[in-house]
Structure 1
Amino acid sequence: MLSKLMKSKFFKNSVMYTVGSMMTPLIGFIMLPVYTNYLSPAEYGTLTTVQTLIGMFQVFLVLSLQGAVTRFYYDYLNDLNKQKEYLGSIFIFVFLFSTVSAVLLVFFAQPLGTILFSAIAITPFYYMMIGIAWLNALFALPMSLLRAQEKASSFVIVNLLKASLIMLLSIYFIVFRGLGPESALLSQFIISAIVVAILLIKQSQFLKLSFNFTYIKYSLIFSIPLLPHVASGWIIKSSDRVILEKFVSLEEIGIYALAVQVSMVLSLFYQGINNALSPRYTKLRKEEKIIEADRLLNIFFWIVIACGLLSIPIAMVGAALLSSNAYNSAIWLIPVLILGQIVKGLYFIPVAKLFYSKRTKSIATSSTIAAAVNIGINFALIPVIGIYGAIISTLGAELVRMLLIYRASKVSNH
């Protein structure tokens, strides 16, 4: 069975997707000595807070339509013309929607920036945040198409090149030019723009210039209920830093952000495997190979548990070696944050079932409740116990979300 698993396309793609997804956190680890030696905890706190908000705006600029591409791609395997028309319609819609939305966000920069930032300057950070979020929204669709096509090697190459170039340009700006946290954001903007342009040109062969409202409509019906699910992921993972900025110093945020950055390596490891799991599970179910599909989920379960427990001591040692003494207190925050990542990894299992059956409203409901729990705990505890309140809220929200989604997946099977 083990030999058969290692020869399977799922295993090979899981390895490839995991390697590709791990490039960003791995390079983040490589950059830790640069950040912690050339940026103060306050500057690092500024950088990570802005990067957190980029994720929030990206969610709404793409409307979760990357999930629709991954799901509906398989409905047109036998009609390539319709497939190209479908993909072209979605790509054009996302480009128009995200561009118009980004322009409006820039127009209202002052009032929105004042709400979002307390200690961080609106110029240049707000404008860089919107620009990168817009590019990330455009980047999401070509990458989801690579996933649907199960082109794991291309997925890895794109992520590796993008992350490596951002790292090199950031090192140049920070180390050799002596620039601050804005230089890392500038690097991300420049490289993302180049990569998005190349991807869209390369994938134009799979697209047909079209704006079929029917395709857009049923994709939105599928994806919009996923927005609370995706947004809740951002809220549980990142909103604490936005709230922390209102109650604690940027130095404390920088220390907390380092612990989160380290624990996120495990999350991206799980996401890499899920990138292979989701399309493979969908394909097996479409082919009515139920036993094989269930076995796939069982394998994923044990991967989550084993890798999660092993990562705790490794992450603590790695953080100690790669960061400066000013960040030492972050090391003892890592174990609890990793427990939250393990819970999040288990969450992918029932989501795969509900995603296949198109029961996205169940996913949205559980995610919305968990996000509300997260925000409630954050506002209740952060003013009292600071970053420890953020840690408690993250773990609590992940537990609530997992329990609710497991319950929904059990109901859907009856």
Structure 2
Amino acid sequence: MSLVKSTAAYSISNLVLKFGGVLLLPLMTRLLSPNEYGVIGLLMTISSLLTIVIGFGLYNPQNKVQSKYKNKKELGDYLSTQLILFLILNSFFSFVYILFINSEIGTKIYLEYGINYHELLLILILSIISGWNVIIISYFKMDRRYYFVAIISIISFSLFYGLAFTFITLFSDNVVSYILSNILSQIIISIFLSYKYIKLMSFSFNKNNAKYAIKMGFPVIFTELSGRVIEASDRLILAKFISMAEVGVYILASTGGRILSVFISGYTNSLYQYLYDDIRSKRVISSYSKYFVVITILVVLGQLLSKPLIPLIFPSDYTNLHLYFSLILPIFALQYFYFLDFYFHVSEDSKYIPIFSVFISVLSIVLNFVFIQKYGVYGAVISTYLCLILRFSIQSLWIKIKYDVNIKYINFIFLSLIQFLCPYIDNKNNLSLYSIITLCVILTATCIVYICVNIDEIKMVNNNDK
């Protein structure tokens, strides 16, 4: 399948899911108070962290094996080993997790955030099922069954929201109802996917396969945790210094901002496969660079449209939602930079990822403590931006030195700063027609400057394609 078709397959399904989720947010916010939304947001953040750890990055070595092994028996042996390894690792992890939340320290921590013990147990169950589903879905993606994955994703989405609205309406505990809806939808999808997936297995255990899975999978945990820790640390630290209701508004803005990931993940998930063919592909670099201009335009349009629309759609008790949404959109745009991790994975240099991830994660926690105490939500945005830009710059330089791939990171930083113009002007004075025209002129000028700077590279790539 071509780059355009595979991108379309991912993007259409993601568009339905993300855009559908955003459309349903007004209904959800009428059933959940800002405080309840804050608690659910924190629990889902914990679940996203657990899902990464529980999955142990096994999808990455699975992708490598899948592209390498054409023999069904060899692939079946690997998948069987992977399943046994997954069960062993998760049994141990669950034991440690339950010990921790039963400890005095663990109890003190979760009670401080208004979270209950049984909610944390449900989150563990949800994370295990989700971690398993990530591995299976990754297999079907690498098998280029994009439309199958798209249909499964839409079914899962429909099941979750259907159950969520039903349970929240019927039962008094809205937080538990939300989590149970998620668990049941994941279980139904898991049963269907596992049936097709397990049929591929030969039910054997190979030590070499297990060692390879751990070697290639473990560094991926740090890759994914880096982004999640940045996200989780700001929410958890914000909850210590501002009200849970305000945290709920911040998380709601983040949820709306995820619609941008439709245009990011759909493209990068399709693009990274071409790195397996040629890690120095100029087509990949050119496409990657040009697409960030598109993302910048989408961010500014989202910021401009959200100001008149948000007050009409959401309840009035979700105050400052527009401002938080405008600030968070550029942060979501920076998640585009995680594509650079694939250069290390494809080259089997995943060992470098933990270095970047641990450093940036620790820095994120430190900066969040420093800035959030003084500036609240603004501090969270500042610290997240600095961490993501620093990681991107370091990785770009490293990739240039090690793989001789030149990524013009200065262009990306310039475009990322442009994305903060709209909330800056809006915060200083209300957006007027003059302000909107000014932003459009700046954005147009940015595109022109970008094309002029990269004109030689664009011509070269176009000539090569011909």
Fold shared by both chains (TM-score > 0.5): yes
Matching of residue 371 in structure 1 with residue 361 in structure 2:
yes
Distance (Å, rounded) in 2 between the aligned partners of 1:95 and 1:258: 34
What is the DSSP-based 3-state SS (H/G/I as helix, E as strand, rest coil) of the residue aligned with 2:114? coil
Q: Which amino acid aligns with 1:265?
A: I
Distance 2:249 2:237 in 1: 15
What letter corresponds to residue 249 of structure 2 in structure 1?
Answer: I
1:38 pairs with 31, 35, 40, which one? 31
Normalization by structure 1: what TM-score?
Answer: 0.90
Q: CA deviation at 1:23?
A: 4.1
Contact 1:301–1:346 at 8 Å: present in 2 too? no
The answer for the alignment partner of 1:326 in structure 2 is 317
Structure with the greater alpha carbon radius of gyration = 2
Question: How far did 1:82 drift?
Answer: 0.9
**Contact 1:32–1:322 (Cα < 8 Å) also in 2:** no
C-alpha separation in 2, matches of 1:361 and 1:19: 34
Segments of 5+ residues of structure 1 without an aligned counterpart are 1-7
- Structure 1's 113 and 241: CA in aligned 2 closer, same or farther, altered over 3 A? farther
Match of 1:405 in 2: 395
Q: Which residue of 2 aligns with 1:188?
A: 182
Contact 2:171/2:177, CA 8 A, preserved across alignment: no
The residue aligned with 1:5 is none
For structure 2, list consecutive stretches of 5 or more residues without a partner in the other structure.
405-466
**2:337 corresponding residue in structure 1:** 346
**Aligned partners of 1:304, 1:413: CA distance in 2, in Å?**
26
Match of 1:63? Answer: 56
* C-alpha separation in 2, matches of 1:318 and 1:155: 32
Residues 321-341 of structure 1 deviation map (CA, whole Å, 9 limit, x = unaligned):
432111131211222211122
Q: For the structure 1 residues 308 and 68, does the alpha-carbon distance in structure 2 shift closer, same or farther, using more than 3 Å as the test?
A: farther
Q: Say if 1:228 and 1:367, in contact at 8 Å, map to a contact too.
A: yes
Identity of aligned residues (%): 21
State the AA in 1 paired with 2:72.
Answer: L
The equivalences for 1:15-414 within 5 A come to 15-77=8-70, 79-111=71-103, 112-282=106-276, 284-285=277-278, 290-298=281-289, 300-316=291-307, 319-348=310-339, 350-414=340-404
Q: Return 270-279 or 38-47, whichever deviates more.
A: 270-279
Deviation at 1:407, TM superposition (A): 1.4
Aligned length: 402
Tell me the distance in 2 between the aligned counterparts of 1:11 and 1:313. 29
> Could you tell me which amino acid in structure 1 is paired with residue 75 of structure 2?
Q
When the two structures are superposed, what TM-score results if normalisation uses the length of structure 2? 0.80
Alpha-carbon distance in 2 for matches of 1:307, 1:40: 30
SS at match of 1:224: helix
- SS of the equivalent of 1:210 reads coil
1:48-67 superposed Cα distances (whole Å, 9 cap, x missing partner): 11000001111111111112
What displacement does 1:104 show?
Answer: 3.6
Deviates more, 1:290-299 or 1:126-135: 290-299
Instruction: Tell me whether 96-105 or 62-71 shows the greater mean CA deviation.
Output: 96-105
| Distance across 1 between alignment mates of 2:398 and 2:309 | 38
What letter matches 1:193 in structure 2?
I
2:153 alignment partner, SS class: helix
SS at match of 1:328: coil
Instruction: Please give the secondary structure, in 2, of the residue aligned with 1:211.
Output: coil
Q: 1:412 to 1:322 in 2, by over 3 A?
A: farther
Secondary structure in 2 aligned to 1:121? coil
Q: Deviations over 1:257-283 (max 9, x none)?
A: 11111112213431232222222432x
Say which is worse superposed, 334-343 or 130-139, in terms of deviation. 334-343
Task: Report deviation, 1:169.
Answer: 0.6
